[in-house]
Structure 1
Amino acid sequence: MDTKKLVADVQEILAANGDFSNLSDKEVYAPSIQVDRKNVYFILHEDGKKCLVACESGNTVGDFDAVATEDAGNGKTLVVAELNQKNNEAISSRFPWVKPISRHGYKYTFGLGDRLGTASNAHLRLFKGRGIFPILAQQSIRELLLTDRTELDVVQSASWAVFEEGYTTGWGADGDHVKEPYEVEYAVESGCTMITLDATKKIHNEIADLSDSELDAKFNALDPEFVTRFNNDYLDKTFKIGDNSEVHFDKKDVEQSVLIYFDAVVYATYIYHRFVVPNNLDFEISMDETIVPTTPANHYFFANELKNNNITPETIAPKFYGEFQKAIDYIGDLDRFEREYIVHESIAETFGYRLSIHSGSDKLSVYPIIGRLSKKNGWHVKTAGTNWLEALRVIAKEDPKLMQEIYKYSFDNLADVKPFYVFHAEQSNSPKPETINDSNVMSLLTDDNPRQILHTMYGNVLNYQESFKYVYRDRFFDTLNKHQDEYDDFLNRHISEHIDLLQGKAATKEEVKAKYEPKN
């Protein structure tokens, strides 16, 4: 690394007066350049690697953990530094927009969940000017384990991408699907500005299977004070929501809502006061990791009980009618989805939060409905896993033999992930590995069943070892890194499909597919 040449780069940047389109050193990544008076900062791309270059007063440059330095004259020192935590803290103290912030007040927010740590740059380029607040860091504990990453790594990776792209308009970090207090604390300590509380362990799905007599007996076995209050507040009452919607509670609605969801209300209240308020977090509550759809009565009850505890979350994720399976489009009656979404949206508007749509990747059929009906409060959509599938699209194109190996391993070991995901793909309804060759390998990413197999097996593929060596991980990342521009293009096409439908820039799935779908 030629530090004297970097000093010359700094002088050229200062002389350019903000126009960095014709810099002589193409390894200086122009979007990252920040000039603060006579101090200069940028990301250098050299030999397939990235590093931070900072040139400032010798009195403050010690904040950086330098790997190389050079006297830049006039009392300034140039440092070359790795993209690590200490240097991230140093750069964010100079440019606060590098840190994640609250999404409160933003109408439209989109969770991207960069599982591999290499997608955020492309996403940021796409989101510039879209009027949507990106949640770049969004990983569950399960996803962290499967990708062998930490929450801090996820947040730091996103933060460096923000600096590199000069994205100054704000971004968020979500401790996704946290269930236990220690998981919430871990997310907070890692820099997350938002948590998504997965209340699954406090949502009692088994109640839905009780007979009417069993349900009645269990409800009336509660403390009489609770029985009286809940009946007085809800039984045989109709609540008007919005202009044309209402929610009515019959006896079964009351008893099921209380017995399935009230424990989750109590738990959310505890998490809210222990973590959300002290750390000024954005608060989302997930009701979607359940067996049965959230009825309007369930949703209204949950929201109203939170209100009784003076809690208004930023977003709530009900379990909508239909199936939101991983990596494929929505399965269900769209007319019914729309009818029920109208009621859920009216409840959210009544209580002052937004709806959150989980497992949002590829649910293109419902996005025109969501975009059209959620104009008052806006929406939050979560995608994540299809970053991995777009990476596999690069593998299939550039190293089809590796892709065939990955598919065979995924196909043969699918039973390993069946307990963790709900999906229809089976070995019996998917192409046999021996039928896949160089000419048809890309079909694995367009056909629903093999697509789901590949999607759900990401952790197993990345972590599989033989003789103490990774079998696929290194070859996978080597290929992906060599073709980052191609990966960026695939990522942007894919997410653009979602955003255009949500923002009404395309009317149908077919229209947006024709606009963005890669032809190869």
Structure 2
Amino acid sequence: MELKQLVTDVHEILTVSGDYSKLTDSEVYIPSIQVDRTNVYFILHERQDNQVVKSLVVYEDRGTIQDFDGQETLEDANKVLLVGMLNEQNWHALTKRFTWVKPTSRHGYKYTFGLGDRLGNASNAHLRLFKGRGIMPVLSQQSIRELLLTNRTFTDVILDAGWSVFEEGYTDGWAADGDHVKNPHEVDYAVKTGCSMITLDCTEKIHNEIADLTDDELDAQFNALDEDLVTYFNKTYLDKEFQISDQAAVHFSKKDVEQSVLIFFGAVEYAEFIYHKFVVPFNLDFEISMDETIVPTTPANHYFFANELQRKGITPETLAPKFYGEFQKAIDYIGDVDRFEREYVIHEAIAEHFGYKLSIHSGSDKLSVYEIIGRLSKEHGWHVKTAGTNWLEALRVIAHVDPKLMVELYQFAYDNLDDVAAFYVFNAQTDGTAPKPETITVDNVMTLLNDDDARQVLHTMYGSILNLQKSYRYVYRDRFFKILKENQDLYDKYLNAHIAEHLDLLQGLAQTKAEVQAKYEPTIQ
């Protein structure tokens, strides 16, 4: 783009008084235009080799424009026009001028939704979907494991999301989650790179082995605690019933007390340490994951955990129990939906009693229970986390555009599934019902994205697929991203049809899985 033409574009923007629909330069991305008095900022879209190349254009006073890193500049009276890359320095310069470009607290937002964009190119589409929904998007949501498997950093994730926020002119607020951080080093890393919230994964402080103890063994371990602790826990909980709502009460048997203490009290103490070391000093939103257990969280477990946190002066923004049923990756809820609803009523009552909202982890694709969650989460709302959905919708693009490559990706994923055996529990790994690679051809490859077992095979292997190298060169990564970049509009359509299914059920705009599938799935075939 010629700099003189960009100066002409700027003058036109300044004279049209906010109506940009008739701008003569079609490469100016209209949603990104921001005008501050006589300063102008926008994203330029230039088409090169079937891909959109993006640049930042700034038109600002000479005395302040040095905040930006420019590749090209042109003086215009007392102003300077600058064209720069979408890099870290330029993003920070924008955040000084427009605070909404930075991630912020979820506090005060009743409904929040984690999007877990592992590839860094889904946020624009998501922001268009979320406009007007009344739901705060957590655009940046990655765990350390996901960062390692995608060769990204927290800075990468935040910048990818932050640039999308500016590009789409999304001023309603967004959050960045240091997801499933387990130790102080990981928390510190997330905080220092700009995450506005952390999800504390208490795996290393939750003692799952306690669930397998006999009653006598449980008694012995509990009574081996210091006498003051045994006395306190028994006096506070043993044989007590806590009425938490008109519909829900929690009773503590002897076993309930002992299991709750021995499984979860170490996690409570650890949460207190992280709260005072990081959450308070850095004004973070605090989510606690207590779902890293081998059995569902009982009402007694949940009440105990929340009550002990409150006793220490801690109210998290969100807390994630392990709900009844299976929340496996990339497929719908497995279990008795009626029982899930009965138990969710109690968990929701506990959350409302203590002043936080429930968080639903592994929330992707759980269409059978979203209506229940949306209907019952009345007082404080809900937080739903999705991950992997973006990856699978990206594979839908690959299957559509280059079915031969998709056949190859599935063969590799199926043959190397043991690579991720330690990370995931899913049916496709154990029941042998995933489609055999020899049955998949270029003619039926799209069916993989609608088959539960195939979805799980492909979902879990994203890191292995992206990182596979031969002769020091990536086998799939470059081809994969080239196709996505050349077909961004198709990817956007797939992404938003899928996430819209989630949101419509959560918001009560649809009542059943069949209803949203009939509404959206014809658009993704």
TM-score w.r.t. the length of structure 1 is: 0.99
Partner of 1:202: 205
CA distance in 1, matches of 2:119, 2:250: 43
- Residue 113 (structure 1) shift: 1.0
Match of 1:14 in 2: 14
| Structure 1 contact 55–72 (Cα < 8 Å) conserved | no
Q: What residue is the counterpart of 1:41 in the other structure?
A: 41
Aligned 8 A contact 2:206 2:292 in 1: no
Q: Which residue of 2 aligns with 1:453?
A: 457
Q: Aligned partners of 1:15 and 1:401: how far apart in 2? A: 51
Counterpart mapping for 1:45-444 below 5 A: 45-46=45-46, 47=48, 48-73=52-77, 75-426=78-429, 428-444=432-448
Q: How big is the alpha-carbon RMSD for the aligned residues of Structure 1 and Structure 2?
A: 0.8
Q: Deviations over 1:34-54 (max 9, x none)?
A: 011111100001122111000
Determine if contact 1:358/1:381 at 8 Å carries over to the other structure: yes
CA contact (8 A) 1:265 1:302 kept: yes
Per-residue displacement from partner, 1:74-105 (whole Å, max 9, x unpaired)?
Answer: x0000001111110111110111000000001
1:352 and 1:430 map into 2 onto residues whose CA distance is 43
Equivalent residue of 2:72, what SS? strand
Deviation at 1:165, TM superposition (A): 0.2
- Name the counterpart of 1:5: 5
Take 2:310 and 2:80, find their aligned partners in 1: how far apart are those partners? 55
Q: For 2:392 and 2:108, locate their aligned partners in 1 and report how far apart those are by CA, in whole Å.
A: 32
Residues 1:100 and 1:15: Cα distance change in structure 2 (over 3 Å): same
Shift of 1:72: 2.1
TM-score where L is the length of structure 2: 0.98
Aligned to 2:25: 25
The answer on whether the counterparts of 1:364 and 1:497 sit within 8 Å (CA) in structure 2 is yes
CA separation in 2, counterparts of 1:204 and 1:369? 30
Alignment partners' CA distance in 1, 2:392 and 2:432: 22
Partners of 1:179 and 1:519 lie apart in 2 by 37
Instruction: Give the superposition deviation at 1:16.
Output: 1.6
Deviations 1:464-487 (A, max 9, x none): 000100000000000000000110
Give the count of matched residue pairs.
519
Give the equivalent residue in structure 1 for 2:470.
Answer: 466
Counterpart CA distance in 2 for 1:227 and 1:396 is 59
User: 1:214, 1:431 → 2: CA distance?
Assistant: 45
Identity of aligned residues (%): 70
Instruction: Give the C-alpha shift of residue 428 in structure 1.
Output: 2.8
Q: Which residue identity does 2:505 align to in structure 1? A: L
Structure 1 residue runs of 4+, over 6 Å off? none
Matched residues in 2 for 1:481 and 1:211: separation? 57
What corresponds to 2:514 in structure 1? Answer: 510
Residue pair 1:445, 1:451 contacting (<8 A) in 2 also? yes
Q: Deviations over 1:333-355 (max 9, x none)?
A: 00110010000000000000000
Alpha-carbon distance in 1 for matches of 2:291, 2:220: 27
Task: Write out per-residue CA displacement over residues 171-192 of structure 1, whole angstroms, 9 at most, x where no aligned residue.
Answer: 0000000000010000001100
How far off its partner does 1:519 sit?
5.0
Aligned equivalents of 2:118 and 2:24: distance in 1?
35
